[in-house]
Chain A
Amino acid sequence: MAKASAASKYSEITLTKDRDGEEIKVQLEGKTLEFNYYESIMSPNITANMVIMDTGYSARYNKKYDKQERVGSIYNALPLTGNEKLKFRIESSLGELDFVNRPLFVNGSTSPDQNSQREAILLSLFSEGAKLNSESTAMKKYQGNIGDSVKLLIKQFLTGKSESIKVKEENIQNTANPYSFAGNSKSVFEICCNLASKSTTEKDSAGFFFFETKDGFQFKSIDSLISQPISARYFKSEVLLGSMNTDQNDFKILASHMRKNQNILNALNAGVFFSRNIYFNPQTFEETEIEYKFTDGKLVKSLGKSAEAPDVNAYTKTNYNILDIGTLEPTIKGGDNNDPKDYQAQAAMRYNILFSQLVDIQVPCNPNLRAGDTIDCYFEIITQSKKEQGYMDPVQSGKYLIVDLCHHYEPTRSITSLTLARDSYGLYTEKNKS
């Protein structure tokens, strides 16, 4: 067994509740049966859940409920009413998951198993950004580079409201296209996720993601994510490498499952390979039709060799757009506001191609991995030939993007579950066109 799969250490895991102005702390080190931490490039905030087994010696009842102020279980004595803070630091052999200075908040709790001696408590948790997002209402007019608007929104509603939320400047990528828009009383997450699909880069394809990792909020283009250096290299083999204690086994794929490998009909219906795009100018009443083909070579970067497309002879989807001609400008002379011709069809293609292959894998716990990272995965070739010539499958192996991530901790083991995406095949990335 790999060392990274062994039980991790809760060096701190404390539940804190503000009760009538007094801060009540409950240590959960010996009570935690299971802890799951989640990140996803399609989720603007981190979530987690945990299972606690409580034998009734955790917290004193509030005097207003129990005049004797007896000691009881967290669920009723604390009591758990939501919005409690959970600070934790979990140490594994490959790294640690540290949320001491950035606690998660209790969303809700259930007690599915309760008897006279003990009770199991299930807590669901969210990061502070999710709460601040619910309190946010963007009403202003935003203009200029979309990356700058995202920074402004984050500052206005997230980092400006809480000192524990930090955002690294380099994690918010500027776009090639400016966009003027009204907040329309929407929340900061809703706006940022919507902006991601309207963003494009100077040389690469359109399409961004807005998401949160343990490093904070990220607003990055798909192409910048897939072209970054790999964070780790994993292999799949039915044997252990070297001795039981070698570190190499920490990077062994424990289990894998190919969830999806293309869905041509869905892709055709989404207009991934061939779409017709109609644009109507409400000022000049001019109608423009543009056909967008995948084979025109607008997919600049890929995780493997160039992505392949089936032979499609006619457009399979029609996108209809009404151009924004100076809706938020003093005059109409500025032209189109973020012309959808520049991003819409391309972004639809980019998002769909990225998710053309999905693989679920489990690896020994690696807290250093984050959603949006890339890793190399080497899958074993199935052949009657001798594997001395190379044990890796040259098609399935290669670079993958982490879409979803879960660090799973139990008293006896720690693993990381990943959902990986890939837009193309092949062990090596083709030289990028940009």
Chain B
Amino acid sequence: MKSATLPDGFFLGQVPPNWTEYLQNGTWSDAHNNRVKVRIPGKHSKGPEILDKDLPWAIVSQSTSAGNRNGTSTGLSGGEWVIGFYLDEDEQLPVIMQVLGRNEVSGAKIKASENGTTQFRDVSRFSGQVAQGHQMGGAPPPKKPAVPDEEDFEKAKQGLSSPPAPGEELPGFVPTEEAAEAAAEAQAAREAEAIENIPEPTGEVINLSEGRSTDTRTDAQRQADSAAQRERIINKIGEEEYYRRVRANENRGFATNPDGSLAR
């Protein structure tokens, strides 16, 4: 039968639900290029004269992105309307080329064929989606994170004059955004640890600048650093504890900076 609109040898058809080779047979030895069955109006009956099981398997042609480098699934699970052509003059070997876009707002949907045929009715998109054979099974999940062995570690170090210190920037390399964030977090952790180890006030005068180099920062930089440090301390010990300590210092006669830090 010739179509009024499609060129000779081309067809428009519907893939019946659950008639992909993987769903039916489930093993690679039975598979044949991701074939699916196809019911073609004008060639195959709407009714049960020819059942889904007797329809021809159609080879599914895929995009070049499904070549040997990738090898992807066709994505056809049943119910889709497709266009294709026949490989042979007798029109016994169908090939599916493309799938038509779905209309999700269309009316009554069926979830499976009734009496062996879809009767060309709309099929629910989510019916009969079963994991394909190759998607099931496989290796057990890992019990612990992967740990590189010494050999891998030595290979990674090849070409370096000496192993880099933790956090050290390699010459000529601009740290990535993730590396910068990790470094900032490590710095914050070190400062929080220092705060944790601050001894309780004893009333003695402590020279906090002892052992430190001369501060060369501008006032604006100093204020910004102080504000950031106050925020980190508050995050670490809580706002209430922080201000309790500030008040205790002030009561002892220590000055407090406008940002809440102790004046030197």
Contacts and interface: CB of A to CB of B under 8 A. Distances in A.
Interface in A46-66: none
B30 interface: yes
Interface string A279-292: 00011000000000
Interface of A: 139-141, 181-186, 194, 282-283, 321-322, 324-328, 330-333
B54 A182 contact: yes
Interface in B24-55: 24-25, 30, 32-33, 42-45, 49-50, 53-55
B1 A185 contact: yes
Contact of A139 (B25, B50, B59, B93): B50
Contact of A184 (B32, B49, B59, B91): B91
Contacts of A186: 1
A140 B49 contact: yes
B33 A282 contact: yes
Contacts of B24: 330
A325 B25 CA distance: 16
A326 B55 CA distance: 11
A328 B32 CA distance: 13
A326 B24 CA distance: 14
B219 interface: no
Interface of B: 1, 24-25, 30, 32-33, 42-45, 49-50, 53-57, 59, 87-88, 90-94
B87 A182 contact: no
Q: Which 4 interchain pairs have the tightest Cβ spacing? A: A141-B54, A184-B43, A139-B49, A322-B87
A325 B32 contact: yes
B93 A324 contact: yes
A328 B54 contact: yes
Given A140-B50, A141-B50, A327-B57, 17 more contacts: A139-B43, A141-B54, A182-B50, A182-B92, A184-B43, A184-B44, A185-B43, A282-B32, A282-B59, A322-B93, A325-B32, A327-B93, A327-B94, A328-B54, A330-B53, A331-B30, A333-B30
A170 to B, nearest CB: 28
A327 B50 contact: no
A333 B29 CA distance: 9
A183 B42 CA distance: 11
A282 B43 contact: no
A326 B32 contact: yes
A185 B42 contact: yes
Contact of B57 (A183, A326, A333): A326
Nearest to B25: A331
23 contacts: A139-B44, A139-B49, A141-B50, A182-B56, A185-B44, A282-B32, A282-B33, A282-B59, A282-B87, A282-B93, A283-B32, A283-B33, A322-B87, A324-B92, A325-B32, A327-B94, A328-B54, A328-B92, A330-B24, A330-B25, A330-B53, A332-B30, A333-B30
Contacts of B87: 282, 322
A423 B139 CA distance: 68
Contacts of B43: 139, 182, 184-185
Contacts of B91: 184
A423 to B, nearest CB: 26
A186 B53 CA distance: 20
Contacts of A322: 87-88, 93
Contact of B90 (A140, A194, A326, A328): A194
Nearest to A331: B30
B67 to A, nearest CB: 13
B10 to A, nearest CB: 14
A141 B37 CA distance: 14
Contacts of A328: 54, 56-57, 92
Given A139-B45, A185-B43, A327 B92 contact: yes
A325 B32 CA distance: 9
Contacts of B45: 139
Contacts of B44: 139, 182, 184-185
Contacts of A181: 90, 92
A325 B56 CA distance: 11
A182 B91 CA distance: 9
A186 B89 CA distance: 13
Contacts of B56: 182, 327-328
A332 B28 CA distance: 11
A434 to B, nearest CB: 29
Contacts of B25: 330-331
A197 to B, nearest CB: 10
Nearest to A338: B92
A55 B91 CA distance: 53
